[in-house]
């Protein structure tokens, strides 16, 4: 299309994660993953939006003994494990150029510290990748998306233990070697910054086992940075024509007012978010973070060679999720209103989703421009979308105009950012098929172009049904974003 703002070969598609999609949690030799232990908590019993952490040894023991609840939605997912052919055919019908999925680490190494991989797990992803390639859909594969083997939590307290680096690199090399002719686009750790607010899901840490929580989190992150850089190195060696990126939950932060105090608070919030990409793209720890560590009595233990590996093997591109923006205030005792996911301050210029996420399409353009200025590497939006309640009408249709509106506005701003000079590789909308929510384990928080008949308790036929947004997105891709 001549009038498109998007470059030729732009990678349009959808994004998912194994733990929210596959189900079959105990089939094909798979070991338990951390998210297999997270139960559904009904809305009226939830403190806030994030209920995904297992916090203590005792809590984990109870869950394993079957005493901590019986609704584990991520164990069932949406049964992609058995229905991937049907689902991929629907993605192909929409014209997907790429499909983002994760490999479930415990399908390949059930305990995480095993020496030999599980052939049945490897064979499953061979079939999935072959199916995608049959339709010319490029797989975009996340190595670790909140689904590390549970055994690594039990035995090592997750990424706090340096030995995880070797286990992860062995896993990464195994899948690079196996899929080197099928997969060219890779991501290391999904939303690597998630550990700072969810240490169990981000790093496999049971917080009751550590004395200094922040110390443990940042030490675990150091191990992940090193593991990620070594994976980058291995990926380039094993698959020379590959591209491998990092992945950040991008939190664009605005000052509440133009008061310098608020501006400074917003800047410092932003630095805490950009720290992760500073390390992974620039290749070294930024001075503001070293200062933060010093002030908070955090000491990162590094081995000789760690700094070199970070510097020598930065990522090829930067990918991120974008759902909302946030507001920071410099006055600590100010009453914070509820309504924002993390900081609690409401932006009066924005509307919120049914889950209180503040919808901000222009924030996407701002964030794209800011990150491209800072890093000068290609960007990839690998998650964006609207979690909403959908209604199936009597005639079977699902009229998700609100979703179309959300995506249209964001894609439009992405187009404007390209016109502004930002280099963007692609866009994969989150949860292109309805799946289990990461944050709340709900099925009823839906993101898809494809409806899946299942409720929060696992009732339903699992039948797939196109929503109104299905045909809309199909036309977006067909016109390379010219017709929104």
Known catalytic residues? 383
Min dist CB 328 to ligand P53, Å, is: 16
Other residues' Cβ atoms within 10 Å of the Cβ of residue 82? 12
Q: Which of 275, 375, 430, 470 binds ligand P53 (CB under 6 A)?
A: 430
- Rounded CA-CA distance 279/248 in Å is 12
Three-class secondary structure of residue 225 per DSSP: helix
Q: Which of 11, 17, 205, 229 binds ligand P53 (CB under 6 A)?
A: 17
Q: Is 464 among the residues that bind ligand P53 (CB under 6 A)?
A: no
Degrees (nearest 5) of the Cα angle 62, 60, 16?
125
Min dist CB 221 to ligand P53, Å, is: 17
Min dist CB 262 to ligand P53, Å, is: 23
Nearer to ligand P53, 4 or 49 (CB): 49
Distance of CA 57 to the CA centre of its chain: 26
Q: Is 407 among the residues that bind ligand P53 (CB under 6 A)?
A: no
Three-class secondary structure of residue 33 per DSSP: strand
Other residues' Cβ atoms within 10 Å of the Cβ of residue 53? 18
Q: Is 269 among the residues that bind ligand P53 (CB under 6 A)?
A: no
C-beta nearest to ligand P53: residue: 439
User: 311 to 340, contacts with ligand P53 by CB under 6 A?
Assistant: 321, 323
Min dist CB 126 to ligand P53, Å, is: 24
- Rounded CA-CA distance 69/39 in Å is 6
Q: Is 404 among the residues that bind ligand P53 (CB under 6 A)?
A: no
Three-class secondary structure of residue 200 per DSSP: helix
Nearer to ligand P53, 154 or 321 (CB): 321
Q: Is 361 among the residues that bind ligand P53 (CB under 6 A)?
A: no
User: Which residues on neighbouring strands pair with residue 450, listed in sequence order?
Assistant: 433, 466
Listed in sequence order, the residues at least 6 apart from 48 whose beta carbon sits closer than 8 Å to its beta carbon are none
Min dist CB 318 to ligand P53, Å, is: 15
Nearer to ligand P53, 149 or 431 (CB): 431
Q: Which of 316, 383, 400, 456 binds ligand P53 (CB under 6 A)?
A: 383
Selected range binding ligand P53 among 75-83, 115-123, 170-178, 436-444, rule: CB under 6 A? 436-444
Residue among 58, 18, 48, 55 nearest 36 (CA): 18
189 and 228 in contact (C-beta within 8 Å)? yes
204 and 151 in contact (C-beta within 8 Å)? no
Q: What letter would DSSP give residue 193?
A: G
Q: Is 445 among the residues that bind ligand P53 (CB under 6 A)?
A: yes
Q: Is 363 among the residues that bind ligand P53 (CB under 6 A)?
A: no
User: Which residues on neighbouring strands pair with residue 122, listed in sequence order?
Assistant: none
User: 161 to 190, contacts with ligand P53 by CB under 6 A?
Assistant: 190
Binding to ligand P53 by CB under 6 A, coded x per residue (else -) over 80-119, reads: ----------------------------------------
Q: What share of the chain is helix, strand, coil (3-state, %, to 5)?
A: 45, 15, 45
Q: What letter would DSSP give residue 343?
A: S
Q: Is 439 among the residues that bind ligand P53 (CB under 6 A)?
A: yes
Phi, psi of 382, deg, nearest 5? -105, 0
Buried b (16+ CB within 10 A) or exposed e, 175-185: bbebbeebbbb
CB-side neighbour CA atoms (13 Å) of 355: 25
Selected range binding ligand P53 among 126-134, 282-290, 305-313, 432-440, rule: CB under 6 A? 432-440
- Rounded CA-CA distance 17/215 in Å is 29
Nearer to ligand P53, 215 or 319 (CB): 319
Q: Is 249 among the residues that bind ligand P53 (CB under 6 A)?
A: yes
Nearer to ligand P53, 6 or 380 (CB): 380
Min dist CB 188 to ligand P53, Å, is: 13
Q: Is 449 among the residues that bind ligand P53 (CB under 6 A)?
A: no
Three-class secondary structure of residue 141 per DSSP: strand
Min dist CB 19 to ligand P53, Å, is: 8
Min dist CB 189 to ligand P53, Å, is: 11
Q: Is 28 among the residues that bind ligand P53 (CB under 6 A)?
A: no
Q: Is 231 among the residues that bind ligand P53 (CB under 6 A)?
A: no
Q: Is 205 among the residues that bind ligand P53 (CB under 6 A)?
A: no
Listed in sequence order, the residues at least 6 apart from 262 whose beta carbon sits closer than 8 Å to its beta carbon are 255, 256, 328, 329, 330, 331
Distance of CA 20 to the CA centre of its chain: 11
Selected range binding ligand P53 among 133-141, 328-336, 419-427, 439-447, rule: CB under 6 A? 439-447
451 and 437 in contact (C-beta within 8 Å)? no
Q: Is 229 among the residues that bind ligand P53 (CB under 6 A)?
A: no
Min dist CB 429 to ligand P53, Å, is: 11
Listed in sequence order, the residues at least 6 apart from 240 whose beta carbon sits closer than 8 Å to its beta carbon are none
Q: Which of 224, 343, 437, 454 binds ligand P53 (CB under 6 A)?
A: 437
| Sites of contact with ligand P53 (CB under 6 A) | 17, 20, 190-191, 249, 321, 323, 383, 387, 430, 437-440, 445
């Amino acid at each position: 299309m001549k009038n498109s703002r998007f470059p030729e070969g732009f990678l349009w598609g959808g994004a998912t994660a194994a733990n929210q999609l596959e189900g079959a949690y105990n089939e094909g030799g798979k070991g338990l993953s951390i998210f297999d232990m997270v139960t559904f908590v009904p809305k009226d019993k939830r403190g806030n939006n994030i209920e995904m952490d297992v916090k203590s040894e005792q809590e984990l023991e109870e869950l394993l003994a079957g005493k901590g609840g019986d609704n584990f939605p991520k164990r069932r997912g949406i049964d992609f494990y058995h229905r991937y052919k049907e689902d991929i055919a629907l993605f192909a019908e929409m014209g997907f150029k790429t499909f983002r999925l994760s490999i479930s680490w415990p399908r390949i190494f059930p305990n995480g510290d095993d020496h030999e991989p599980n052939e049945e797990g490897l064979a499953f992803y061979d079939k999935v990748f072959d199916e995608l390639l049959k339709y010319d859909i490029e797989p975009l594969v996340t190595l670790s998306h909140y689904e590390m083997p549970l055994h690594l939590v039990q035995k090592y307290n997750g990424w706090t233990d340096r030995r995880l680096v070797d286990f992860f690199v062995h896993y990464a090399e195994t899948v690079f070697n196996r899929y080197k002719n099928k997969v060219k686009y890779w991501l290391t750790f999904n939303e690597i910054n998630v550990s700072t607010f969810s240490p169990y899901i981000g790093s496999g840490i049971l917080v009751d086992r550590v004395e200094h929580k922040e110390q443990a989190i940042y030490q675990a992150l150091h191990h992940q940075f090193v593991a990620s850089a070594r994976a980058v190195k291995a990926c380039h060696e094993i698959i020379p024509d590959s591209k491998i990126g990092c992945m950040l939950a991008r939190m664009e932060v605005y000052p509440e007012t133009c008061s310098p105090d608020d501006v400074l608070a917003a800047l410092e919030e932003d630095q805490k978010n950009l720290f992760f990409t500073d390390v992974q793209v620039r290749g070294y720890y930024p001075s503001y973070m070293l200062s933060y560590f010093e002030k908070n009595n955090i000491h990162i233990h590094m081995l000789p060679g760690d700094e070199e590996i970070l510097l020598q093997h930065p990522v090829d591109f930067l990918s991120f999720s974008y759902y909302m923006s946030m507001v920071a205030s410099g006055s600590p005792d100010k009453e914070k209103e509820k309504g924002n996911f993390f900081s609690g301050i409401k932006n009066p210029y924005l509307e919120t989703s049914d889950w209180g996420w503040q919808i901000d399409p222009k924030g996407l353009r701002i964030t794209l421009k800011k990150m491209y200025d800072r890093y000068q590497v290609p960007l990839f939006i690998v998650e964006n979308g609207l979690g909403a309640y959908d209604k199936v009408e009597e005639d079977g249709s699902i009229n998700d105009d609100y979703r179309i509106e959300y995506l249209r506005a964001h894609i439009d701003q992405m187009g404007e950012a390209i016109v502004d000079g930002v280099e963007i590789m692609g866009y994969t909308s989150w949860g292109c098929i309805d799946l289990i929510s990461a944050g709340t384990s709900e099925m009823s928080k839906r993101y898809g172009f494809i409806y899946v008949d299942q409720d929060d308790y696992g009732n339903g036929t699992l039948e797939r049904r196109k929503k109104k947004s299905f045909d809309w997105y199909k036309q977006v891709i067909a016109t390379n974003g010219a017709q929104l």
